[in-house]
Amino acid sequence: MELEQILQRLQISELNDMQRTVLEQFDDKKDFVLHSPTGTGKTLAFTLILDRLLQQNAKGLQAIILVPTRELALQIEQVIRKALLGLKVTCVYGGNDTRMERRKLVEAPAILIGTPGRVMYHLERNHIDGATARILVLDEFDKSLEFGFHGQMVYIIDHLHHLQNRILTSATKMSDIPEFTGIGEFVSVDFSADSDSKPKLHVKKVIAPPQHKLKALFKLLCMNGEKKTIIFCNHRDAVDHISELLDDREVIHDLFHGGLEQADRELALLKFRNNSNRILITTDLAARGLDIPEVDVIIHYQLPYKEDAFIHRNGRTARMQTSGEVFVILKPDEEYPYLPEDSMTVTLEEDYDLPPNSPFATLYLTGGKKDKINKIDIVGFLLHLGNIKKEEIGLIEVKDRESYVAVDRRVAATIVKLSVDKKIKGRKIKVGRT
């Protein structure tokens, strides 16, 4: 497939240095190992490798991509579907409906993306045939090991008897690659120490005694105004505590942690992407592998214990060689050896205006891909309601059975009212607020 066409579909003007190097050095007769920081475009890099290796008309499963989190699995699925047309892609992960996944696997996909536990589940029950798989991608492999997926990955790899190409990616450089991966002679591309690929971050400190830490955070959010911000905490209860404060002040935000239902987590990310909210409070679950572009600010309400976790959190901003701000909230005597020595200390003023409301609100529509509804249909539907302008419609995401559209917050209630008893493609739909 032509590279220019792939980039056009992904709305990317050109490859970065790492991606170009991957294409130049890849050898289909050898395995491949890529080390590159979070946010540098590893997904596109191995997608372009897959484009070279996959056979358009081959029957059965050709490639398995193992990832540490369901969010990363869904992100990769989105990229591959846009980039590689004409190939069936299926995504499986913990927390998803196993019966629905099994129905999707009746006709074998060309590419299977999944978390190790769920891929192992389907292998054990013969829902997938590993005998036809020729390509294995171990994406964010270091994180998969950290999450304790060693045993599941061993089982999966032991049941893939006809692998010809093994691809491993990692945000941090690995001195030794575990033997169970089966990686033999390989080509390595290492951008882990490349200064041009590392985020351009400005780290700043906010000093506050424990009893005033929450107050300092709120002032910091007010000072940053409309900047798109992720707040990192070490524990879920801290996430919930901050959320209660923002709820009391009527500041729009969302939560993201492992205690939430999968649908709620996906909706929180969707609303953060489409500017329906500008503040996301999270644990380290959001430190890697999420499709969250254009984050302006990272705030560490609680600092992680290890430097690599700090690095991965910060990788959510300054992506693809842009720059970003990082704030750490510290107690007066608190020190972390990994913080830059030249970090400036920010003094917060007594009063700031509240952060402005986000410009968009997200509406849901009861119809999606399975109902033959696409983005163009939804735009046409909204414009024909009357009094709705094209510039009042933001990002649209169409799922299997429902769709989500960002609209100007000022017209959201009007759209819901005007949509009662309306149809798209002859099918009656419901429109509501998320």
Residue positions counted in the chain: 434
* 102 and 229 both lie in a single domain: no
C-alpha dist (Å) from residue 339 to 15, 300, 306: 32, 12, 11
In a domain, 352, yes or no: no
Residue 195 included in any domain: no
User: Can you tell me the distance from the alpha carbon of 1 to that of 244, in angstroms, rounded to the nearest whole number?
Assistant: 50
Would you state the pLDDT for residue 74? 87
Write down the pLDDT at residue 350. 77
The answer to whether residue 179 sits within a structural domain is yes
Strand-strand pairing, 165-170 and 186-190: unpaired
CATH, residue 119 = 3.40.50.300
- Please give the chain's pLDDT, 434 residues, in tens: 588 899 888 888 889 999 999 999 999 999 999 998 877 889 999 999 999 999 888 889 999 999 998 888 988 998 999 899 889 999 999 888 899 999 999 999 999 999 999 999 999 999 999 999 999 999 999 888 888 899 999 999 999 999 999 999 998 888 789 999 999 999 999 988 764 545 566 789 999 999 999 999 999 999 999 999 999 999 999 999 999 999 999 999 999 988 888 889 889 989 999 999 999 999 887 666 566 667 889 999 999 888 878 877 887 664 444 557 899 999 998 888 888 877 888 888 878 999 998 999 999 999 999 899 999 999 999 999 988 999 999 999 998 899 999 999 999 999 999 999 999 998 999 999 98
Whether 350 maps to a domain, the answer reads no
List the structure tokens of 305. Answer: 């214990």
Q: Are 271 and 254 in contact (CB under 8 A)?
A: yes
Are residues 92 and 221 located together in one domain of the fold?
A: no
What distances in angstroms separate CA 334 from CA 171, 309, 327, one per listed residue? 28, 18, 14
* Domain-embedded: residue 62: yes
Q: How many domains does the chain have?
A: 3
185 and 224 co-located in one domain: no
Residue 152 and residue 27 share a domain: yes
CA distance 277 to 270: 9
* Domain co-membership, 334 together with 388: no
Q: Is residue 178 part of a domain?
A: yes
The residue from 321, 345, 369 where one domain ends is: 345
- Are 332 and 386 members of one domain? no
Same domain, 402 and 280: no
The answer to whether residues 320 and 41 touch, using CB atoms and an 8 Å cutoff, is yes
Domain identity same for 333 and 259: yes
Of the three residues 345, 378, 396, the one that is the final residue of a domain is: 345
What pLDDT does 323 receive?
Answer: 57
Domain annotation covers residue 355? no
Are 128 and 267 in a shared domain?
A: no
Residues 69 and 208 in one domain: no
Query: Do 331 and 427 have their domain in common?
Result: no
Q: Which pLDDT does position 147 carry in this prediction? A: 82
Instruction: Compute the half-sphere exposure of residue 346: CA atoms within 13 Å on the CB side of its CA.
Output: 22
Pairing of strands 254-256, 279-282: parallel
Domain coverage including residue 138: 3-190
What pLDDT score does 112 carry? 98
Same domain, 209 and 146: no
Q: Is residue 154 part of a domain?
A: yes
Q: Which of 190, 210, 232 is the last residue of a domain?
A: 190
CATH classification of the domain holding 414: 3.30.70.330
